[in-house]
Chains A and B, each alone.
Chain A
Amino acid sequence: MSRDEVYERLNEVFRDVFDDESITVNDATTSDDIEDWDSLEHINLIAAVEQEFGIKFNMGQVVTMKNVGEMADIILAQTGA
């Protein structure tokens, strides 16, 4: 899976979780860029990403992830792409 494909699927997950079809994420996207991305939604987002890619983030990754770029890195590493 290429990074572009990861982002294509991440965009769908973000749009679904935050109920906003206009969302497009990139490496630099953080919780500051998406209005409803607070600590409550963060965990729902993590669960949705895990389900979409069939992976599991550990708690350390969940609390230290700084932007979507880091999320994409972990997805690529875990899916072996």
Chain B
Amino acid sequence: MGITSFYFLCFFSIILLLYYIIPRKCQWGLLLLCSAAYYLVSGSGLLILYPIVSVTACYIGIRLLEAAPPELVRRRRAVLVGTVLVNIGILVVLKYVNFGIYTIDGIAALFGSRRPLIESVDFLVPLGVSFYTFSLLGYVIDVYYGIAAPQQNYLKLMLYGLYFPAVISGPILKYREHGEQFFEPHPFDYVRVTRGLQRMLWGFFKKLVIAERLGTMVDTVYGGYADYPGAFIWFATVCYAFQLYTDFSGCMDIVLGISESFGILLPENFRTPFLSRSVAEYWRRWHITLGVWMKEYVFYPVLRTRFFTDLNRRWKERFGRKRGKQYATFAAMFLLWLTVGIWHGGDWKFVIGSGLLHWFYIVMEELLAPPCARLMERWHINAGGRPVGVVRIVRTFFLVCIGDLFFRAASVGDAFAMLKGAVTVWNPHILWDGSLLGLGLDAGELVIAAGALLLLCGISLMQDRKGSVRELIAARALPIRWAVWYALIFAVILFGCYGPGYSAGEFIYQGF
């Protein structure tokens, strides 16, 4: 049951009604029941046993940590390592066994092996396994550090792990900041509920009006890139960047909107990422909860290991204080970006497209920043001026698009073939001679997609400069407010891709 389907809207409406009718102390119980029901009917069936095992392992871990005072360092560490291994073990077996098998078979093929050394294994992967595993593990680690209170109610921990909107595509939750909200009583608040519904509406617009249309053109080009060289590939890649953004952030708008209408405020995952002036900034504005998780539970602990502390010291002696520190950080960042890439999926296209390529970008940005600054000073260019800012935004977007090309291509080989096709054929005329009409959308559909994208860009600029657009609309007179929201409702109804015979694609990040 996709969250853009009619059935889901019925399911949500019933839950929302019940949520504010039943006694408040039972609200979290209702959410738990609905989360389990959603998991069972979303095609996951018995796969619900996986999150149950993960939650149970974390619950046992938390209770053991609670029972072990801080002086028992070894015991506490053993409990933490055991809990992490169980959860990461499940994740690795379900998502990465074939990655290892394909890599071994690939290497064997390079050395002349004609048959695979190991046959791949097919596992059914439970919904949201990467998201709930990280949310739960972060909580256990926080309890170990003593910065989060241990949850003593098994069913409450189950709700935190299985919460149905967040299990679809995140956000990755942080119990110490958001966990307790699930269990607090939430009286009906008209403003909060309507704001949540408004946000859901904007998410539907992004997914059904923009992402689905762009996806049609992207699928055409990426599915037959040999027939669509040069500017077709550039065009489709830019479309994919916007498809990925509107799909993922649209899903987040729906998830955060649903939660807001329940009185639960989840963490934001996006902050107008395409307005970033560097790749490092882009990752502070794109999939924020993953970035924060990786920083707190991978990057910082790695940098504080004895190995990296020694490396830092040795490289400072060898390369000088500033350079040595920088190189040690780059080495730790390599592990971080490798983990980010692998998190996205067991395939080298993810490892490169959303991992190591971005590590390379950030390292180059750091290394090239001083000479670029000197060059701009010599040429009397105002580094803080608007023209330079626009150039940086365009440059960052271009670099991100190259990563997205790897992310979307069927394989790393295809990605390189597409890059070759993109730079060796010069055909910019296809952008205005009507060739784009052969990519699966007619002229009317293209105009709708372009208009919706313009609206998205306008809203993004407003968000970047003035904050919440919903707040701005709410401050307007009643007729204007209603006109805006009704226009959006009709835009989704009239221009959205849905209805009998059409099934909106799954959210891209739902596969993770």
Q: List 26 A-B contacts (CB under 8 A).
A: A19-B322, A38-B280, A39-B299, A40-B329, A40-B333, A43-B299, A43-B300, A43-B304, A44-B325, A46-B304, A47-B304, A47-B309, A47-B312, A58-B145, A58-B146, A59-B141, A59-B296, A59-B300, A59-B301, A59-B304, A60-B145, A60-B146, A60-B147, A62-B300, A63-B145, A64-B147
| CB–CB A43/B145 < 8 A | no
The docked-state distance in angstroms from the alpha carbon of A20 to that of B142 is 34
B420 CB-CB contact with A under 8 Å: no
Shortest B148–chain A CB gap in Å is 9
On whether A63 and B300 interact (CB within 8 A), knowing A44-B329, A58-B145, the answer reads yes
* A interface footprint on B119-154 (CB within 8 Å = 1, 0 otherwise): 000000000000000000000011001110000000
B303 CB-CB contact with A under 8 Å: yes
Total chain A interface residues with beta-carbon distance under 8 A: 14
Q: Which residues of A contact B309 (CB under 8 A)?
A: 47
Which B residue's beta carbon lies closest to that of A44? Answer: B325
Q: Which residues of B contact A63 (CB under 8 A)?
A: 145, 147, 296, 300
The docked-state distance in angstroms from the alpha carbon of A64 to that of B174 is 12
A-B residue pairs, 10 tightest by C-beta: A60-B145, A60-B147, A43-B303, A63-B296, A39-B295, A64-B147, A59-B145, A60-B146, A40-B329, A43-B300
Q: Which residues of B contact A40 (CB under 8 A)?
A: 329, 333
The docked-state distance in angstroms from the alpha carbon of A20 to that of B303 is 24
Q: Which residues of A contact B325 (CB under 8 A)?
A: 44
* B interface footprint on A32-56 (CB within 8 Å = 1, 0 otherwise): 0000001110011011000000000
Q: Which residues of B contact A59 (CB under 8 A)?
A: 141, 145, 296, 300-301, 304
The docked-state distance in angstroms from the alpha carbon of A14 to that of B327 is 20
Task: Say what secondary structure dominates the interface of chain A.
Answer: helix
Shortest A70–chain B CB gap in Å is 12
Shortest A44–chain B CB gap in Å is 6
The docked-state distance in angstroms from the alpha carbon of A62 to that of B303 is 12
* A interface footprint on B275-299 (CB within 8 Å = 1, 0 otherwise): 0000010000000000000011001
The docked-state distance in angstroms from the alpha carbon of A47 to that of B300 is 11
The docked-state distance in angstroms from the alpha carbon of A63 to that of B141 is 12
Which A residue's beta carbon lies closest to that of B291? Answer: A39
Which B residue's beta carbon lies closest to that of A58? Answer: B145
Q: Which residues of B contact A62 (CB under 8 A)?
A: 300, 304
The docked-state distance in angstroms from the alpha carbon of A44 to that of B309 is 10
Shortest B316–chain A CB gap in Å is 10
The docked-state distance in angstroms from the alpha carbon of A78 to that of B146 is 16
Which B residue's beta carbon lies closest to that of A56? Answer: B304
Q: Which residues of B contact A38 (CB under 8 A)?
A: 280
The docked-state distance in angstroms from the alpha carbon of A44 to that of B315 is 14
| CB–CB A60/B303 < 8 A | no
Shortest A22–chain B CB gap in Å is 18
- Most chain A Cβ neighbours within 10 Å, of B299, B304, B333: B304
The docked-state distance in angstroms from the alpha carbon of A57 to that of B333 is 21
Which B residue's beta carbon lies closest to that of A17? Answer: B325
The docked-state distance in angstroms from the alpha carbon of A11 to that of B329 is 23
The docked-state distance in angstroms from the alpha carbon of A57 to that of B141 is 16
Shortest A17–chain B CB gap in Å is 9
The docked-state distance in angstroms from the alpha carbon of A59 to that of B148 is 13
The docked-state distance in angstroms from the alpha carbon of A43 to that of B301 is 10
| CB–CB B142/A60 < 8 A | yes
Shortest A56–chain B CB gap in Å is 9
Shortest B417–chain A CB gap in Å is 35
Which A residue's beta carbon lies closest to that of B303? Answer: A43
Q: Which residues of B contact A43 (CB under 8 A)?
A: 299-300, 303-304
Shortest A63–chain B CB gap in Å is 5
Shortest B225–chain A CB gap in Å is 37
Which A residue's beta carbon lies closest to that of B280? Answer: A38
- Most chain B Cβ neighbours within 10 Å, of A38, A59, A62: A59
The docked-state distance in angstroms from the alpha carbon of A47 to that of B324 is 14
Which residues between 4 and 18 of chain A lie within 8 Å of chain B, taking CB atoms? none
Q: Which residues of B contact A58 (CB under 8 A)?
A: 145-146
Which B residue's beta carbon lies closest to that of A38? Answer: B280
The docked-state distance in angstroms from the alpha carbon of A58 to that of B301 is 10
Which A residue's beta carbon lies closest to that of B281? Answer: A38
Q: Which residues of B contact A19 (CB under 8 A)?
A: 322
The docked-state distance in angstroms from the alpha carbon of A60 to that of B176 is 11
